[in-house]
Amino acid sequence: MLWQNLKRSFGISTFILLIDLIMIRNLLIALLLTGSLNCFAQSKNPQYDAQLAKKLGADDYGMKQYVIAFLKEGPHRLTDSAARMKLQMAHLKNISRLADEGKLIVAGPFLDDQSIKGIFIFNVSTIEEAKKLTETDPAIQAGSLVMELHPWYGSAALMQTVETHKKLQKKSFTD
């Protein structure tokens, strides 16, 4: 009934023009809504490398799960400097072995004199796996260090740390 009244009031050509304007308005609204929604959609990263992401184990955010370890002073600190140096060298060789195996991707001491002596970032997904790896460390075995382990979510790019470090390292700690 409404359409018939509009046809009579405006005439058929005006009525068609009105319908066209309504359709154009609806189309513009649809386009605006689509454009607005696209503003909120995630844009594709032009630098994204699917092959590298897969190789490094990255999720959609370029991240992955690790286990981070805080190396703390243990209950049995060696007082003999020669024994302490020997234990430190064995500790460093274990770090190198774990890095070469791809299990340890970051390791290093803290430079302040606190009870937390350093960190490890293990390329494992469970605390249990990391605990087994820490038990291979001579400093842990001797009680000179203890490990505090935490699951950690960080950049998968860390997986390239060891490879890059080898290109930068002029001297080895263990030679």
| pLDDT single digits (tens) 111-142 | 998 889 999 999 999 999 999 999 999 999 99
Verify that 111 and 146 share a domain, yes or no.
yes
User: Does residue 136 form part of some domain?
Assistant: yes
pLDDT tops 70 at residue 27: no
Partnered with residue 145 across adjacent β-strands are 73
Q: Which tops the pLDDT comparison, 167 or 120?
A: 120
Verify that 95 and 164 share a domain, yes or no.
yes
Domain limits for position 32: 2-40
CATH number of the structural domain spanning residue 153: 3.30.70.1060
pLDDT at residue 69, rounded to an integer: 96
Q: What is the mean pLDDT of residues 99-122?
A: 94
Please, what is the average pLDDT of the chain? 83
Number of domains present in the structure of the chain: 2
